[in-house]
């Protein structure tokens, strides 16, 4: 490497000791005097108008301090999506409303002295509903006569409210019609994806109180403290200056907490009761009152030459955002902009309708539209390769985006507006493919399988995926550093560590730049009073954007350190360097001063606080790449699919902390496996969740996990701090298509619907594969 001392090293998490010793680090770990418990009365109906609501009995109950309905709060159209201002999501949500739009929507809220009293108070609220026809099936949302979900006049930024269309996207580069005409083979298929929930270990939780100055303090498990501050101010109609958002340690977010979800109502209850209020979703509430992944129906069409060259690809998507349009066009935009450009087709077209339904609200979720798109694209590509008699690996080698390529679709599809063209300045995808293929034994197993006559059949499949690193031209961050007397540095960042290790990575970047050991960096993050602005933890942005700000700030502080050292060592700045907590001359004289002595000199002799801050943004979003290879065993009698081995090779640019990076890959893979095979929030015909619990919402547990191989293919990204891009999202995209393709290799059926349920596999086996079909013939297709 490059003589780096801290970056690229597997240091332990800076907050690790605190977490494993159970120190009071999380939102819930404080108890405020006089704290009340807030609860939301959820709508029992998918679509209804509140004709009458009477809270007198609830208010009269001893121990109840506040009861709020739509009559008691300001009506401010907004979005709960934690996005940079102006948010591209529709302003279609209200703190409380006289209409409810999904089972679980807010009807009223109470704050009481115990959870039991709060729950009792909810039962005492009398509500008469006018139940309205509900739209549950997204395919019917745009149909003539369908109930209009957002008929209120004051919502804004809705594409076509009378047809329940939250957003619409159409982008084309080249001409797909021409591309398909010039193609030798054109294949079109339809795919369906489902509603996955984030299931963070720590559900959404917020504690609000008024500080002695009467400012509203919001202690909350959020990926977006700054956006939350702005949005709560807007919704409660109080100045941003009177709000202080604190983000403690978090038990996971996965996108579900890129959302202002409890903070507004908890703040409103605090203002109403003048008491601290805690609100926490139960696990059941988390399933349907929080957010989930957008279900989509995708029609994908691709045209290729006989030799396998991709000429044109077209993706047409129908997606539902549920009752509110949080992240509606941006998630779906990604389904096109981050997926199609993986192939170097000159002609691409992406069209998408995002519709409202009376269903739980979809939102940001690790992958942000890409898992759906890549499931379609990578499954279709596998089919095309097999049809052409090509090894899918060769097909990928031939067609995937390369170093130096410009992705023009991204230029057309930005975050809610025109984007910026994306140039591939670093690309480890070829090595990712080769190393993951080796790990899975691709060359041998593609030939050998399927073998034997047992009911257990094995196969291998692959997928290539990419993502972004921050939103180009939108995401930005800042950092501030000051030096202490002992030569340590206080690092303040708005970045929001969700548990993924941002605090550690950002400290590593600061320590590396300043030439100090990691213990000399003390970090505070995600506190709107103390730390400077950061958009928050989303879009795979923290390492590259917040890290970029830290590197810049540290560079400025380093320059100040060298100035002082220059005077102390009587040497010009350009002959100074710092490492191991000292500044030394690079000339033969080898003079040195410790950071401690230097700090004392600066502070008490020169009367000078070494400190500086910096802001950072990028005009490009460098893609991390991933190759996912799966080996599966299909039980042809039960339809069960057992993943035996999953290999992911990822190009994250430089891995600032390789151990944490691998952890991110493995976590994404576990969530990706669940997405592929078992996890689905199921609604009944009336929009009620059927499995809002871990008994029947099946996640991958330890015993279900296959053998994992995780490979980091490091590259040097010019736009990233120390060459870093991102890693937390991209590996979630591959498991579903890789498994679907492995199933085809094993038993010859194409799966185009997620999750891949045993029943569906069995049905497909019965339908597509007569029992006596000759194996050789089938695989000679």
Partner 1 sequence: MFERVEVFYRPASVREAVRLLAGGKGRARIVAGGTDLVVDGDPTARALIDITHSGLAYIRKQGGGCAIGAATTMAELEESRTILALGGGILARAAATCGSIQIRGVATVGGNLANGSPAADLVTPLLVLDAVVVVADAKGRRKLPIAEYLAARGTKGLRQSLLVEVTAPRPLGRRCGWSFQKLGRTALDISVVNVAAGLQVDGAGRIQWARVALGAVAPTAIRAGATEENLQGRTLDAEAIAQAAEGVMREVSPISDVRASAAYRREMCRVLTRRALEECAAQAGCAL
- Which chain residues interact with partner 1 by CB under 8 A? 116, 637-640, 678, 682, 690-691, 695-696, 698-701, 703-704, 758-759, 762
Mapping DSSP to helix (H, G, I), strand (E, B) and coil, where does residue 362 land?
strand
Tell me how far, at minimum, the Cβ of 762 lies from partner 1, in Å: 7
Q: Closer to partner 1 at the Cβ: 690 or 773?
A: 690
Tell me how far, at minimum, the Cβ of 6 lies from partner 1, in Å: 39
Cα–Cα distances in angstroms (integers) from residue 575 to residues 555, 565, 587, in the given order? 16, 11, 6
Tell me how far, at minimum, the Cβ of 45 lies from partner 1, in Å: 21
Tell me how far, at minimum, the Cβ of 691 lies from partner 1, in Å: 5
Separation CA 599–CA 583 (nearest Å)? 11
Separation CA 351–CA 159 (nearest Å)? 14
Residue among 432, 431, 422, 423 at smallest CA distance from 403: 423
Q: Closer to partner 1 at the Cβ: 1 or 695?
A: 695
Q: Closer to partner 1 at the Cβ: 29 or 684?
A: 684
Q: Closer to partner 1 at the Cβ: 241 or 702?
A: 702
Q: Closer to partner 1 at the Cβ: 597 or 704?
A: 704
Q: Closer to partner 1 at the Cβ: 529 or 637?
A: 637
Residue among 735, 675, 770 at smallest CA distance from 436: 735
Q: Closer to partner 1 at the Cβ: 104 or 416?
A: 104
Burial (0-12, 13-18, 19+ Cβ within 10 Å), 584? buried
Phi, psi of 4 (to 5 degrees): -75, 145
Tell me how far, at minimum, the Cβ of 65 lies from partner 1, in Å: 19
Q: Closer to partner 1 at the Cβ: 92 or 680?
A: 680
Tell me how far, at minimum, the Cβ of 454 lies from partner 1, in Å: 13
DSSP code for 527 = B
Tell me how far, at minimum, the Cβ of 101 lies from partner 1, in Å: 23
Tell me how far, at minimum, the Cβ of 491 lies from partner 1, in Å: 39
DSSP code for 161 = G
* Structural Rg of the chain based on CA atoms: 27
Residue among 46, 142, 149, 199 at smallest CA distance from 684: 46
Structure tokens, 740 = 């679907």
DSSP code for 260 = -
Burial (0-12, 13-18, 19+ Cβ within 10 Å), 60? exposed
Q: Closer to partner 1 at the Cβ: 100 or 743?
A: 743
Tell me how far, at minimum, the Cβ of 656 lies from partner 1, in Å: 34
Q: How does DSSP assign 633-673, residue by residue?
A: EEETTT--EEEEEEEEEEE-BS-SSHHHHHHHHHHHHHHHH
Residues 6+ apart with CB under 8 A from 257: 82, 200, 204, 221, 222, 223, 224, 250, 498
Tell me how far, at minimum, the Cβ of 604 lies from partner 1, in Å: 57
Tell me how far, at minimum, the Cβ of 679 lies from partner 1, in Å: 10
Q: Closer to partner 1 at the Cβ: 284 or 606?
A: 284
Separation CA 564–CA 524 (nearest Å)? 26
Residue among 126, 125, 128, 109 at smallest CA distance from 70: 109
Q: Closer to partner 1 at the Cβ: 412 or 678?
A: 678
Tell me how far, at minimum, the Cβ of 195 lies from partner 1, in Å: 13
Burial (0-12, 13-18, 19+ Cβ within 10 Å), 178? middle
Residue among 410, 245, 440 at smallest CA distance from 337: 410
Q: How does DSSP assign 431-471, residue by residue?
A: HHHHHHHHHHTHHHHHHH-S-SSSSEEEEEEEEEEE--SS-
Q: How does DSSP assign 574-640, residue by residue?
A: GGEEEETTEEEESSTT--EEEHHHHHHIIIIIS----EEEEEEE-SS-PPPEEEEEEEEEEETTT--
Q: Closer to partner 1 at the Cβ: 601 or 640?
A: 640
Tell me how far, at minimum, the Cβ of 19 lies from partner 1, in Å: 21
Q: Closer to partner 1 at the Cβ: 303 or 672?
A: 672
Tell me how far, at minimum, the Cβ of 31 lies from partner 1, in Å: 19
Q: Closer to partner 1 at the Cβ: 23 or 116?
A: 116
Convert 763-777 into a string of H (helix), E (strand) and C (coil): HHHHHHCCCCCCHHH
Tell me how far, at minimum, the Cβ of 278 lies from partner 1, in Å: 18
Containing 490, the helix (H) or strand (E) segment is: strand 489-493
Containing 209, the helix (H) or strand (E) segment is: strand 205-210
Q: Closer to partner 1 at the Cβ: 34 or 701?
A: 701
Separation CA 338–CA 478 (nearest Å)? 26
Separation CA 261–CA 364 (nearest Å)? 12
Q: Closer to partner 1 at the Cβ: 594 or 640?
A: 640
CB 312 within 8 A of CB 188: no
Tell me how far, at minimum, the Cβ of 203 lies from partner 1, in Å: 16
Structure tokens, 177 = 């019609």
Q: Closer to partner 1 at the Cβ: 16 or 701?
A: 701
- Angle, alpha carbons 205-207-209 (nearest 5°): 165
CB 620 within 8 A of CB 424: no
Q: Closer to partner 1 at the Cβ: 288 or 374?
A: 288
Tell me how far, at minimum, the Cβ of 759 lies from partner 1, in Å: 4
Mapping DSSP to helix (H, G, I), strand (E, B) and coil, where does residue 536 land?
coil
Tell me how far, at minimum, the Cβ of 680 lies from partner 1, in Å: 9
Phi, psi of 158 (to 5 degrees): -90, 135
């Amino acid at each position: 490497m490059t003589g780096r001392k801290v970056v690229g090293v597997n240091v332990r998490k800076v907050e690790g000791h605190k977490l494993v010793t159970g120190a009071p680090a999380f939102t819930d770990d404080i108890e405020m005097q006089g704290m009340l418990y807030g609860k939301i009365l959820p709508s029992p109906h998918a679509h209804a108008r509140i004709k009458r609501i009477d809270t007198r009995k609830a208010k009269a109950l001893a121990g109840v301090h506040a009861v709020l309905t739509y009559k008691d709060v300001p009506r401010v159209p907004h979005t709960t999506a934690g996005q940079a201002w102006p948010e591209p999501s529709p302003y279609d949500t209200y703190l409380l409303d006289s209409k409810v739009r999904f089972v679980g929507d807010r009807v009223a809220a109470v704050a009481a002295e115990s959870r039991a009293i709060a729950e009792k108070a909810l039962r005492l609220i009398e509500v008469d509903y006018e139940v309205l026809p509900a739209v549950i099936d997204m395919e019917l949302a745009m149909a003539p006569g369908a109930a209009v979900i957002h008929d209120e006049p004051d919502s804004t930024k809705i594409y076509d409210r009378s047809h329940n269309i939250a957003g619409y996207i159409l982008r084309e580069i080249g001409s797909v019609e021409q591309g398909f005409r010039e193609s030798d083979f054109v294949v079109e298929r339809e795919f369906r994806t489902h509603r996955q929930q984030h299931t963070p270990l720590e559900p959404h939780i917020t504690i609000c109180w008024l500080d002695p100055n009467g400012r509203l303090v919001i202690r909350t498990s959020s990926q977006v403290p700054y956006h939350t501050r702005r949005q709560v101010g807007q919704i409660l109609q109080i100045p941003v200056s009177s709000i202080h958002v604190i983000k403690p340690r978090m038990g996971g977010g996965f996108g579900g907490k890129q959302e202002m979800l409890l903070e507004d109502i908890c703040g409103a209850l605090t203002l109403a009761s003048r008491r601290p209020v805690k609100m926490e979703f139960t696990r059941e509430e988390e399933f349907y009152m929080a957010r989930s992944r957008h279900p989509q129906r995708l029609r994908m069409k691709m045209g290729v030459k006989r030799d396998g060259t991709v000429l044109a690809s077209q993706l047409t998507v129908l997606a539902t955002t549920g009752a509110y349009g949080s992240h509606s066009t941006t998630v779906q935009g990604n389904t096109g902009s981050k997926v199609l450009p993986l192939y170097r087709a000159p002609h691409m077209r992406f069209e998408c309708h995002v519709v409202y339904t009376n269903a739980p609200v979809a939102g940001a979720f690790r992958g942000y539209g890409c898992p759906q798109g890549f499931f379609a694209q990578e499954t279709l590509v596998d089919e095309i390769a097999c049809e052409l008699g090509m090894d899918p690996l060769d097909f990928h080698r031939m067609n995937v985006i390369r170093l130096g390529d410009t992705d023009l679709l991204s230029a057309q599809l930005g975050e809610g507006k025109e984007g910026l063209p994306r140039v591939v300045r670093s690309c480890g995808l070829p090595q990712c493919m080769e190393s993951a293929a080796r790990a899975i034994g691709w060359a041998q197993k593609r030939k050998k399988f399927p073998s034997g006559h047992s009911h257990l059949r094995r196969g291998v499949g692959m997928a290539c995926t990419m993502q972004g690193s921050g939103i180009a031209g939108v995401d930005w961050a800042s950092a501030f550093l000051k030096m202490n007397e002992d030569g340590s540095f206080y690092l303040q960042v708005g970045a929001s560590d969700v548990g993924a290790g941002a605090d550690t990575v950002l400290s590593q970047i600061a320590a590396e730049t300043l030439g100090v050991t990691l213990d000399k960096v003390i970090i505070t993050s995600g506190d709107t009073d103390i730390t400077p602005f950061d958009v928050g933890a989303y879009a795979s942005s923290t390492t590259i954007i917040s890290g970029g700000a830290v590197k810049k700030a540290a560079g400025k502080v380093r320059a100040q350190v060298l100035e002082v050292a220059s005077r102390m060592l009587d040497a010009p700045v350009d002959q100074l360097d710092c490492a191991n907590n000292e500044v030394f001359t690079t000339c033969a004289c080898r003079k040195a001063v410790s950071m401690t002595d230097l700090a004392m000199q600066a502070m008490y002799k020169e009367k000078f606080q070494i400190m500086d801050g910096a802001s950072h943004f990028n005009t490009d979003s460098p893609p991390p790449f991933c190759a996912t290879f799966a080996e599966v065993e299909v039980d042809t009698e039960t339809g069960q699919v057992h993943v035996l081995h999953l290999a992911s090779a990822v190009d994250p640019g430089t891995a600032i902390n390789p151990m944490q990076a691998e952890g991110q890959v493995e976590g994404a893979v576990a969530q990706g496996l669940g997405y592929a095979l078992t996890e689905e929030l199921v609604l009944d015909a009336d929009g009620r969740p059927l499995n809002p619990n871990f008994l029947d919402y099946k996640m991958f547990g330890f015993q279900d996990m296959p053998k994992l191989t995780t490979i980091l293919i490091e590259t040097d990204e010019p736009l990233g701090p120390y060459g870093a891009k991102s890693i937390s999202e991209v590996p979630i995209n591959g498991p579903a298509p890789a498994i679907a393709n492995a199933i085809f290799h094993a038993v010859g059926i194409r799966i185009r619907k997620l999750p891949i349920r045993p029943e569906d596999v069995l049905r497909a086996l019965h339908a597509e594969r007569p029992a006596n079909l000759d194996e050789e013939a089938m695989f000679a297709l």
